[in-house]
């Protein structure tokens, strides 16, 4: 399918040639991207046990994983597919917000979502040890737990440093290995399943705040892979396919083990806490299956950690390429990975790993919700503000339909925020204030030249009036609109044509 009929957009025929991206490493293809999205969002059923406990039994948990994807996961995946293919650069949602509302809000979005991602990543070493402590109680003690958390974080950070391609193909292998024991467990459970157990519900034990936070956390972060868009091969075709495949994989990896486990064992709902699937495996298959699930949990948490850290690091790289952060965040290693950005994310993970599972969950959900509401607003604003924006993949809805699509997930986001504790409100409020202060400080640091900033942020381009080439031919001069300039007070210029045009200064042109 050609670009002119892939999205029905007017700019598809414009002769725009972007500045070639630097080819640091081989690009991500479909299978590794599906695996990375799977690990950004899920990683398997590890961690969904809390939904049974908080929901007072299996019924609400099962209904949640049937209904929530319709009102949350699918709309978010559709919005991500359209905007990721429209802005196929590293930085993802920071680009979307900057284009819709300007660089100030783009910076805030980047800060909120990066911190939310780092907090999310702090969960995975904790989950890993929570599975191991069923067989090794020593990990309940701080003397063993702290060194283990530091060692896990350091080793996984090094793997991330070694290259995105390694991370992508590792994610494919880890996904197969970590889901295999649950497939075996589900097959073994079939003769023992009693469907009436799925209907069990104890209203007195329902904890709505924990239930919604657990459900929301297990089904969010569909937009995270957009921060890697510049590293994807043919993103206009690869992203929509990868998102569709990941939605099917995520929902299936939750429902099948949940139906098998709750239908085959007689455990009361209060015993279902994070790590309990290891015990379910023991009750259904014995010691060997429990051990396999524990090893699979370790593998899954490795994949979750790697996918999240890749997204966080390449988001910082993208913000640096836009001029929103100092250029040091865009420095790449010989493996093509952003070294300082990776180290920054790893430092945040270490600082937050001491928090409990539920504290981390609620805090990251609140910040994520604030950022997602801004993303849905940007999706609608760009439909209105830039109807001719090149959209290789376009959600098949008009502006009214796109608005209606965003209403259910926005209501869910609002509900999750309203259910937050006073502590979460206070801490999140402080984070938001810090972001508001960081922006002018960053601009001031740039103006005073305290740090080096990139001169030419690579952002989506728009066409200006043709300008005469020295040989008499005409070339298209391409400029960025005001909302896409980033923090810089000047606009980079690129040209298209068969020959490379001479340098043109900003003073020679009247920008749109």
Domains defined for the chain, CATH in brackets: 3-441 (1.20.1740.10), 462-508 (no CATH)
Give mean pLDDT, residues 170-189: 86
pLDDT exceeds 80 at position 510: no
Give mean pLDDT, residues 98-111: 90
**Using CA atoms, how far apart are residues 43 and 364, in angstroms rounded to an integer?**
18
pLDDT exceeds 50 at position 2: no
Give mean pLDDT, residues 236-245: 84
**Using CA atoms, how far apart are residues 106 and 388, in angstroms rounded to an integer?**
21
More confident residue, 134 or 488: 134
Least confident segment among 1-5, 40-44, 204-208, 302-306: 1-5
Q: Which pLDDT score, from 0 to 100, does residue 256 have?
A: 93
DSSP string, 450-496: SS---SS-----EEEEEEE-TTS-EEEEEE--GGGSTT-SS---EEE
Determine which helix (DSSP H) or strand (DSSP E) holds 123, and give its type and residue range. helix 103-132
Q: Which pLDDT score, from 0 to 100, does residue 289 have?
A: 92
Read off the DSSP letter of residue 43: S
The reported pTM is 0.71
DSSP string, 334-350: TTS-BHHHHHHHHHHHH
pLDDT exceeds 90 at position 165: no
Confidence of residue 468 (pLDDT cuts 50, 70, 90): very low
Q: Residue 204 class from Cβ within 10 Å (0-12 exposed, 13-18 middle, 19+ buried)?
A: exposed
Q: Which pLDDT score, from 0 to 100, does residue 373 have?
A: 93
Cα 403 to Cα 85, 381, 382, 406, distances in angstroms: 19, 10, 12, 5
In degrees rounded to 5, what are phi and psi of residue 102?
Answer: 100, 165
Confidence of residue 444 (pLDDT cuts 50, 70, 90): confident
pLDDT exceeds 80 at position 458: no
Give mean pLDDT, residues 416-435: 86
Burial code of 317-327, b = ≥16 C-beta within 10 A, e = fewer?
A: bbbbbbbbbbe
């Amino acid at each position: 399918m050609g670009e002119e009929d892939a999205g029905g957009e007017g700019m598809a025929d414009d002769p725009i040639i972007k500045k070639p991206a630097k080819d640091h490493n081989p690009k991500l293809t479909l299978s590794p991207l599906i695996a990375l999205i799977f690990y950004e969002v899920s990683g398997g059923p590890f961690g969904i046990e809390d939904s049974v406990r908080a929901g007072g039994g299996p019924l609400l948990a099962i209904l949640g994983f049937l209904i929530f994807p319709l009102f949350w996961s699918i709309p978010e995946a559709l919005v991500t597919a359209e905007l990721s293919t429209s802005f196929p650069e590293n930085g993802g949602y920071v680009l979307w917000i900057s284009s819709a509302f300007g660089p100030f809000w783009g910076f805030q979005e980047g800060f909120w979502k990066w911190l939310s991602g780092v907090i999310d990543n702090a969960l995975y070493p904790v989950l890993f040890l929570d599975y191991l402590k069923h067989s090794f109680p020593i990990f309940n003690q701080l003397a063993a737990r702290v060194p283990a958390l530091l060692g896990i974080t350091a080793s996984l950070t090094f793997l991330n440093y070694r290259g995105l391609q390694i991370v992508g193909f590792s994610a494919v292998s880890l996904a197969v290995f970590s889901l295999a024991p649950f497939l075996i467990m589900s097959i073994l459970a079939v003769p023992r399943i009693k469907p009436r157990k799925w209907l069990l519900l104890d209203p007195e034990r329902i904890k709505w705040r924990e239930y919604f936070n657990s459900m929301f956390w297990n089904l969010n972060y569909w937009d995270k892979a957009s921060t890697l868009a510049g590293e994807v091969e043919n993103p206009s075709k690869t992203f929509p396919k990868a998102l569709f495949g990941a939605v099917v994989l995520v929902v299936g990896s939750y429902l099948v083990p949940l139906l098998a486990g709750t239908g085959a064992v007689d455990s009361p709902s209060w015993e279902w806490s994070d790590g309990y699937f290891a015990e379910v495996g023991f009750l259904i298959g014995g010691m060997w299956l429990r051990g396999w699930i524990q090893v699979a949990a370790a593998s899954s948490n490795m994949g979750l950690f790697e996918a999240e850290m890749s997204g966080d690091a390449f988001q910082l790289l993208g913000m640096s390429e836009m001029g929103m952060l100092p250029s040091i965040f865009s420095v790449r290693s010989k493996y093509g990975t952003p070294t300082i950005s990776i180290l920054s994310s790893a430092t945040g993970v270490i600082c937050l790993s001491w928090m409990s599972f539920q504290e981390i969950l609620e805090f990251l959900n609140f910040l994520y919700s604030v950022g997602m509401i801004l993303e849905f607003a940007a999706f609608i604003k760009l439909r209105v503000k830039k109807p001719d924006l090149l959209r290789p993949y376009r959600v098949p809805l008009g502006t009214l339909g796109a608005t209606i699509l965003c209403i259910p997930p926005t209501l869910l986001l609002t509900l999750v925020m309203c259910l937050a504790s006073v502590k979460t409100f206070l801490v999140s409020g402080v984070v938001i204030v810090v972001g508001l202060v960081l922006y002018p400080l960053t601009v001031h640091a740039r103006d005073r030249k305290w740090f080096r900033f990139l001169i030419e942020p690579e952002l989506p381009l728009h066409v200006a009036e043709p300008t005469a080439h020295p040989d008499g031919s005409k070339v298209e001069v391409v400029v960025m609109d005001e909302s896409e300039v980033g923090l810089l007070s000047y606009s980079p210029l690129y040209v298209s044509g068969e020959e490379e045009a001479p340098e043109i200064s900003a003073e020679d042109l009247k920008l749109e």
